[in-house]
Amino acid sequence: MIKDHEIDHVDCNKNNNFINNLEQVTKSENIIRSHVNDLCDDKINYETKKLIKKIIASTEFKKGHITHRYIADKFNINISNISKIKNKKLWKYVKINQNDKLINNRYREFMNNLTNDAKKISVNRSGVKHPNSKLNCDMISKIILILKSDIYKSGKITQKEIGKMFNISRTIISSIKNSNHWYNKEKL
């Protein structure tokens, strides 16, 4: 046996110890193969990991239209892992093929669901989307109308005053104005 190598079962069946089913591989190769073949105890399979990596690589994510929290909630993973995946510190072995029809279909389905979720979602004081928060989509629309109005542009009303009207902070008004953390809103 080669030094620093392990034995891998080609057919992933550990009970099949025939010589033609055994192969010497490095530890990292063995780990990658176990993930690719979904043999690990991960709660997320390899195909879903590819989808998550595709979402994180998307323009929508880079522009902030999809948040770390949204992905973490949708796939039931720790939010801190989203940054680790984005910075290539987690799931390095997961490769995305742009021609993968299954992943591309699941990505389109995810984006359609995102659009539908955006219609239902409301936002709490910290800008985190949450169904029980004080601010709903109708309120956001009204705030945007005020921010686009001549009253706001002429300085007759401030962001702080708008916030008081809706019982939210000036910071949230500023986030809405700058399109931070908001789906389908154009920058004012």
The pLDDT of residue 101 is 92
Residues 48 and 95 in one domain: yes
Q: Are residues 51 and 109 in the same domain?
A: yes
* pLDDT digits 0-9 by tens, 15-26: 888 888 888 988
In a domain, 126, yes or no: no
Q: Does residue 172 lie in a domain region?
A: yes
Asked if the structure places residue 185 within a domain, the reply is: no
Q: Which domain holds residue 31?
A: 1-41
- Look up residue 31 and give its two tokens: 């780990």
Mind listing the pLDDT tens digit for each residue in 30-79?
777 776 665 555 678 888 999 999 999 988 888 777 888 888 888 888 88
The pLDDT tens digits of the residues spanning 142-156 come to 888 888 888 888 888
Looking at the 3D structure of the chain, how many domains does it have? 3
Same domain, 105 and 53: yes
* 47 and 116 fall within a common domain: yes
pLDDT digits (tens, 9 = 90+) for 122-173: 444 444 444 445 666 677 778 888 888 888 888 888 998 888 887 888 888 8
In-domain check, residue 188: no
54 inside domain: yes
Average pLDDT, the chain: 78
